[in-house]
Structure 1
């Protein structure tokens, strides 16, 4: 069965779309990534998304508008680029406008936006979406959810590192999975390039390569209370967003250049990953596999190889394992959606929630045929 998986991460620069073929489920699942593409947000939509996810006050009208604007953008993107006969199911992880658990407010819930009815109305395909809410309702943190796919794909002793807006790690141990958000990924880098240069990200690490690391600032940032918090834990733009940048990083501007600050948060991103792995992963690591948008930043990747080199005999990328680095999250959510359609649990102990099926489903015009075909899968 073919899944068209849409990911709108906390980097807020665009949507990643992966076309994935899946057979079977559970540990027997087999995958093939057929195609991957990305769709950059129009500037107005990007600004709207940043506003509603920044803890600023917005009206109900503004919130509803961006919710539907994003849904229409995603629907238009996939309809213009894929034939409806290319895929059977659409998967949408959702754009996180608010995530209470990352602020210590789990009872406030989590809120993903991007109206999926727009996608359904344009395609009449089955849509599986909004995976975090069931985990939160079951007592979990709603993240990280990609731990499930990593535990099904990789062998014991593997540590995966995903660098999106937020960085997270998954460790596959003996009969257990440890996974949590380690801290900022691209989010601080992107926030500074946007603030200083009106650029959505540091392309090819250009600004970082022109700057110098401010060791004093890194030492200060590493004292943040999040890093001493025990897993399970997660975080997001609500915490490491623009307010964090303004309060903790911009005061250094004047004594240091803009590119010095960008270079410093790039190094800080890598040092957060090392620090959290050293603190909370207590099993042997045979291989570290790195993926996500951060792999496109050569300065960040150089820092990671330097800092993680003594933690494992091998450091590879998802691409080395036949997974496009940028399609990793799309694959992860497609696997969760596949488990959902098989009526199987989609979370792991890493979220802290009780085992539960994840996601919501809008049945498409061929939904009964899909369900019938799943009966033959090996799980």
Structure 2
């Protein structure tokens, strides 16, 4: 085993804020994995490129393959600049890419950001494509971050991520379980789009609104919430199932946001409270952790069953990039990095495809 790994993790999420880059070190102490986040940044997408990624689901096969290469080259160039400017020693780049398709009923998941193109542009070894193997084994291919919750953040009883989609992981009978709960920032950003704002600062607009009962009832009645886990969400589900409910609502933006925040918090509570025991703590990360109104509502619906813990900003912003860097380490070590107890696959697996620069 290598004594210490130095890895650059790359993550582009459904929130479409930008490319998260986390330069991390990983090592073992007394048989337990440890890490440090040494340097990080987020490269924001231009409005045009953000729109391009958002509409990638509608592209022809040829145009999607072209975007796959374009995005891989762009990520590689960003990685190379980041490494050179900060004079970093890097063992490899570990990339999640950007999810375009996630249709598990068709055994399909697809992340763009071509690995070979990325490796060539960065001049670095690359490990990527962490979801496909699990899907071929009958799993959801998501969520993948729970391996990091299990091995890096085990001091917490629950780990909740509030990204484009909310998901959580926790242990039941000694086994890690996890699933997508509901749209989160994806829903809030969609409601906000007509205002020209990309986010609701601290949830102030949402706080000023009031609950719209017809919308509240319609959102909570969606069939996904009655499904048992493992289960996962993609943009396609949001577009087909939730977006029409928002479009049909004639309430003000503030009232829609207020109702959406209550909906997200309520679904999180409904999903997690049944598994709470005494003095439980929950680590909350992702962009939604900065939405103070959302955090207050989550704690409100959870009551005293689970205590919400907000970590330092760097962990809020870069936890997913940290974990994908870590998944590359586990792939290098031949250790399990995808848990069948989480995804529903037929077996645990060591996922990730390796590319070398030319």
Shift of 1:157: 6.7
Which residue of 321, 326, 339 maps to 1:330? 321
| Secondary structure of residue in 2 paired with 1:240 | helix
Partners of 2:144 and 2:305 lie apart in 1 by: 24
* Aligned residue number for residue 64 of structure 2: 63
Residue deviations 1:323-358 (CA, integer Å, cap 9, x gap): 611111112112211110001111111111111111
**Out of 215, 220, 224, which is 2:213 matched to?**
215
Corresponding residue for residue 345 of structure 1: 336
What TM-score do you get using the length of structure 1 for normalisation? Answer: 0.86
Aligned to 1:35: 39
Report whether the alignment pairs 1:169 with 2:173: no
Over 3 Å counting, the alpha-carbon distance change for 1:99 and 1:27 in structure 2 is: farther
Give the superposition deviation at 1:69.
Answer: 2.9
Q: Which runs of 5+ in 2 are unaligned?
A: none
Shift of 1:64: 2.6
Structure 1: gaps of 5 or more residues: 366-379
Matched, 1:357 2:346: no
Contact 2:179 2:342 in 1 (8 A): yes
Determine which structure has the larger strand proportion and give its number: 2
In 2, distance between residues paired with 1:31 and 1:174? 27
Contact kept, 8 Å, 2:9 with 2:23, in 1: the verdict is yes
Shift of the 65–192 alpha-carbon distance from structure 1 to 2, 3 Å rule, reads farther
RMSD: 2.2
TM-score with structure 2 setting the length: 0.91
Secondary structure of 1:340's counterpart equals helix
Measured in 2, the distance between the counterparts of 1:26 and 1:132 equals 30
The residue correspondences of 1:71-220 to structure 2 (distance < 5 A) are 71-83=72-84, 85-101=88-104, 104-106=105-107, 109-155=108-154, 158-194=157-193, 196-220=194-218
| Number of aligned positions between the proteins | 350
The match for 1:301 among 288, 295, 298 is 295
Cα separation, 2, equivalents of 1:189 and 1:26:
43
SS in 1 for 2:55: helix
Displacement of 1:175: 2.0
Correspondences of 1:15-34 after superposition (within 5 Å): 15-24=19-28, 28-34=32-38
Within the alignment, does 1:311 sit opposite 2:314 as a pair?
no
Whole-angstrom CA distance in 2 between matches of 1:339 and 1:169: 21
Aligned to 1:376: none
CA distances 1:272-300 after superposition (whole Å, capped 9, x unpaired): 11111135x36666211111111122221
Q: Which moved more, 1:295-304 or 1:31-40?
A: 295-304
The 1:131–1:266 alpha-carbon spacing in structure 2 relative to 1, beyond 3 Å, is same
Query: In the TM superposition, what is the alpha-carbon distance from 1:138 to its structure 2 partner?
Result: 1.4
Shift of 1:27: 5.7
Partner Cα distance (2:237, 2:204) in 1: 26
Distance 2:312 2:316 in 1: 5
Give the Cα separation in 1 of the matches to 2:259 and 2:153: 32
- Alpha-carbon separation, structure 1, partners of 2:18 and 2:163: 12
